């Protein structure tokens, strides 16, 4: 097997209508993604309701997340958060750019628009 690699910061995609999600690794029960936001936020009324745990780290930029039943969480460079499966959450705001590293573990994958 040959190792693969890359750089999480190069190249960063240009701003577009949607966040850019780049799969980095996937195996049974786990996946890792780089997410690049450019001022993006969840659509009004949209909540992520995932069937898997998500560990997310903001590598660059700033972001604000809403967690159902809790106060909003402001994240800065280096901050991380563990979001348990079925914990409803949404992105309130992001800087441009905001670079995330997201690790998803367990569950069936995907999310539900609620």
pTM: 0.90
Look up the CATH number of the domain holding residue 69: 2.60.120.10
Domain that holds residue 46: 20-105
Q: What is the residue whose two structure tokens read 């745990």?
A: 53
pLDDT in tens, 29-67: 999 999 999 999 999 999 999 999 999 999 999 999 999
In a domain, 71, yes or no: yes
In a domain, 85, yes or no: yes
In a domain, 111, yes or no: no
Task: Count how many domains the chain has.
Answer: 1
Measure the CA–CA gap between 23 and 15, rounded to whole angstroms.
18
* Helical ranges in the chain per DSSP H: none
pLDDT in tens, 83-103: 999 999 999 999 999 999 999
In a domain, 14, yes or no: no
In a domain, 5, yes or no: no
């Amino acid at each position: 097997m040959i190792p693969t690699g890359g750089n999480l910061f190069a190249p960063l995609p240009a701003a577009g209508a949607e966040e850019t999600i780049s799969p980095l690794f996937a195996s049974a029960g786990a996946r890792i993604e780089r997410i690049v936001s450019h001022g993006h936020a969840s659509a009004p009324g949209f909540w992520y309701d995932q069937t898997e745990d998500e560990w997310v780290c903001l590598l660059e930029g700033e972001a604000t997340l809403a967690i159902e039943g809790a106060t909003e969480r402001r994240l800065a460079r280096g901050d991380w958060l563990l979001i348990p499966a079925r914990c409803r959450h949404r992105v309130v705001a992001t800087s441009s750019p905001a670079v995330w590293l997201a690790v998803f573990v367990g569950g069936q994958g995907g999310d539900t628009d609620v």
